[in-house]
Amino acid sequence: MFHLVCMTCGRTCGDLTVANCPHDGGVLDVRYDSAEIPLQRHLPGIWRYAARLPLTDERHIVSLGEGDTPLLSSSQLGPGISLSRLYFKNEGLNPTGSYKDRIAAVGITYLRQLGRRAWAATSSGNAGASLAAYGARAAVDGYLFTLERAPRAKIAQIMSYGPQVMSVKRLGYDPAAEKATWDNIAALCDANNWLMLITARSNSPQSMEGAKTISYEVCQQLHNEAPDVVYVPVGGGGLLSTIWKGFKEWHAAGYIDGLPRMVAVQPQGCDPITQAWREGRPVQPLDDCASAVSGIILTSPPDGDLVLQDLRESDGWAVSIPDEVTYQAQSELASREGLFVEPAAAVVWAAIKEDRRAGRLGGDEKVVSILTGIGFKDSAAVQRMTDDKPLPMIEASEILHIAP
């Protein structure tokens, strides 16, 4: 069984359906009656960890085969910078192409447990696609409010699943528009008895529990050893915070002896969390966003202060990467590791290179890089990655004269 505890005032919330503490509006943490994590091996993917997910009845589970993504040892990039134990957790191999499927599976399952008929959310692409797919699987209605500048390829994927999709003016680069959107989605859901499924701990603590299964899997794939350092792309901040929670729970269950240091990676030009980390202050909204790395560009990250807390607790740090360096990292992951990821995922490899150059990584650490989404998610970035590559036209007879 599970309950909700306010991370600010420490009170237990009796209503398991709410998103925020009714006393002070604080972020709610999902907690369980036991630290043990017994595996339910008869259930698929992430659901083998059902004992540590907000599930009351297995009959409500909605699954498309999420989880069990590979943890791959770097074959070329890590050795190239004298980092011998670098691993890539390839979340792009989830059913809709990103780690958000873990969150959507839990969120839509939770919606069914509550007996609600529709979900509403905001997303730049990946979360919307996940929620739409799992909502279609569960035969519930969906309403997605997306960023004004969201990549059309991501929106097309969402639309294919059938929810109602609307673009909100200034959403994605105007803090006032972001706050108004979240507030109004919450009001819409309250008025219609729908479930708000924004992928942030401060908005959807129950569904975000799905993301911590990444940590569980990483530890199992490392034969129940903890990584030394974990790099996570950060936009709203919920992924890093939930992954850190997962490592702490796996440690409390007695499966690992230590905990990793967490690294938050943001794009330069839209890095409010990194700026706050460097200046030793709470996160403050930015006036505008000067980055084009879709998926991790939020001027007012809802879980930003949780990330700062987790970085301090884990003895980690934050780093920001220029867009052009991120695009180069995307190309390197594809051409030298065979990993085709979107820029929002490639940003972590760029950060690892920078930290190795700057001496923050010594070279002997066991480093895990979370690759959050597949490369097809951002068609403009794919085009940019291949624009300078020639495609010569030859006669069939010329094939015999090709030399290595």
- DSSP string for 296-340: S--SS-TTHHHHHHHHHHHT-EEEEE-HHHHHHHHHHHHHHH---
* pLDDT given at position 153: 73
| Residue range 4-15, pLDDT digits in tens | 999 999 999 988
Q: Which long-range contacts (CB under 8 A, 24 or more apart) does 76-81 make?
A: 76/336, 76/337, 77/332, 77/333, 77/336, 77/337, 77/349, 78/367, 80/336, 81/352, 81/353, 81/356, 81/357, 81/363
Domain assignments of the chain as residue spans, ordered by start:
71-98+208-386
| Residue range 99-109, pLDDT digits in tens | 999 999 999 99
**Measuring CA to CA, which residue among 63, 121, 124, 165 is closest to residue 342?**
124
* pLDDT given at position 381: 75
* pLDDT given at position 332: 97
In the predicted model, what is the mean pLDDT of the chain? 94
* pLDDT given at position 17: 84
| Burial grade of 137 (CB within 10 A; 0-12, 13-18, 19 or more) | middle
Q: Name residues whose C-beta falls within 8 Å of residue 134's C-beta, 6 or more positions apart in sequence.
A: 62, 64, 101, 104, 105, 107, 108
**The pLDDT of residue 253 is above 90:** yes
What is d(CA 291, CA 267) in angstroms, rounded to the nearest whole number? 6
* pLDDT given at position 382: 74
Mean pLDDT across 325-331:
97
Model confidence band, residue 266 (pLDDT cutoffs 50, 70, 90)? very high
Whole-prediction pTM: 0.94
| Residue range 86-132, pLDDT digits in tens | 999 999 999 999 999 999 999 999 999 999 999 999 887 889 999 99
Model confidence band, residue 156 (pLDDT cutoffs 50, 70, 90)? confident
| Residue range 375-396, pLDDT digits in tens | 987 777 777 878 888 889 989 9
**The pLDDT of residue 404 is above 90:** no
Mean pLDDT across 166-185:
85
Angle at CA of residue 52, ends 234 and 223, nearest 5°? 75
Chain centroid to CA 387: how far?
28
Mean pLDDT across 253-260:
97
Mean pLDDT across 286-311:
92
* pLDDT given at position 386: 81
* pLDDT given at position 232: 98
Helix (H, G, I), strand (E, B) or coil at 119: strand
Distances (CA, A) of 13 to 213, 245, 249: 24, 19, 21
Mean pLDDT across 12-28:
90
**The pLDDT of residue 172 is above 80:** no
**The pLDDT of residue 52 is above 90:** yes
Model confidence band, residue 170 (pLDDT cutoffs 50, 70, 90)? confident
Q: In what order do the strands lie in the sheet with 164-168?
A: 164-168, 141-147, 118-123, 195-196
| Residue range 57-75, pLDDT digits in tens | 999 999 999 999 999 999 9
* pLDDT given at position 368: 98
Q: In what order do the strands lie in the sheet with 12-13?
A: 12-13, 2-6, 28-32
Percent of the chain, pLDDT > 70?
100
CATH of region 71-98+208-386: 3.40.50.1100
Q: Which one is predicted more confidently, 392 or 368?
A: 368
Mean pLDDT across 227-255:
98
Q: Name residues whose C-beta falls within 8 Å of residue 281's C-beta, 6 or more positions apart in sequence.
A: none
